[in-house]
Amino acid sequence: MQYIAEQRIKEAAENGELDDYEGKGKPLVHNDDPLMPPELRMAYKILKNSGFMPPEAQDLKEVHSIMELLDTCSDEQVRYRQMNKVQVLLARINRGRRYPVRLEELQEYYRKTVERVTVNGGS
């Protein structure tokens, strides 16, 4: 079966049928999230194509937004509350997953940010 497909692709290329397709010469764009559990990928893709964002994706987007805010925020109370919010969001994201979110860069940045905070609590 694979041989037949490869043969037909080769014939089409030789006949020039593959010369003017959209995206020729550009890298393929993979929209699948490698951190997404395989059993949820199709459902989330359908939601995305319908204009909906899965809750996990919304939470990840919010985590990244908070990290950008922390980069420019000078108010330590706000920073403390936002870091707590990141912890809650990551816990919520990981709660429904078989494998935890791997945000090594985010965690390193988070660690550096925590080191700069001097408040002992927040409200």
DSSP 17-44: TTSS-TTTTSPPP--S-TTS-HHHHHHH
How many domains are contained in the chain? Answer: 1
Domain-embedded: residue 69: yes
pLDDT, tens only, 42-96 = 887 787 788 887 777 788 888 888 888 888 888 888 888 988 898 888 888 888 7
Residue 31 within any structural domain of the chain = no
| 8 Å CB contact between 101 and 56 | no
Higher pLDDT, 36 or 52: 52
User: 87, 84, 91, 92: which is closest to 117 by C-alpha?
Assistant: 84
Is residue 96 within 8 Å of 40, Cβ to Cβ?
no
Identify the residue with better confidence: 117 or 69: 69
Comparing 17 with 113, the larger pLDDT belongs to 17
Is residue 4 situated within a structural domain?
Answer: no
Please report whether residue 14 resides in a domain: no
Q: Evaluate whether residue 30 is within a structural domain.
A: no
Overall pTM > 0.95: no
Name the residue range of residue 100's domain: 38-116
Residues with Cβ within 8 Å of residue 45, at least 6 apart in sequence: 31, 32
Is residue 23 situated within a structural domain? no
Please give the residue that has the higher pLDDT: either 98 or 95: 95
C-alpha 14/C-alpha 99 separation (Å) is: 45
Q: What is the mean pLDDT of residues 101-115?
A: 62
Tell me whether residue 8 is in a domain: no
Question: Using 50, 70 and 90 to split pLDDT, how confident is the model at 119?
Answer: low
Residue 24 in domain:
no
Under the banding of pLDDT at 50, 70 and 90, the label for residue 114 is low
Distance CA 77, CA 119 (A): 7
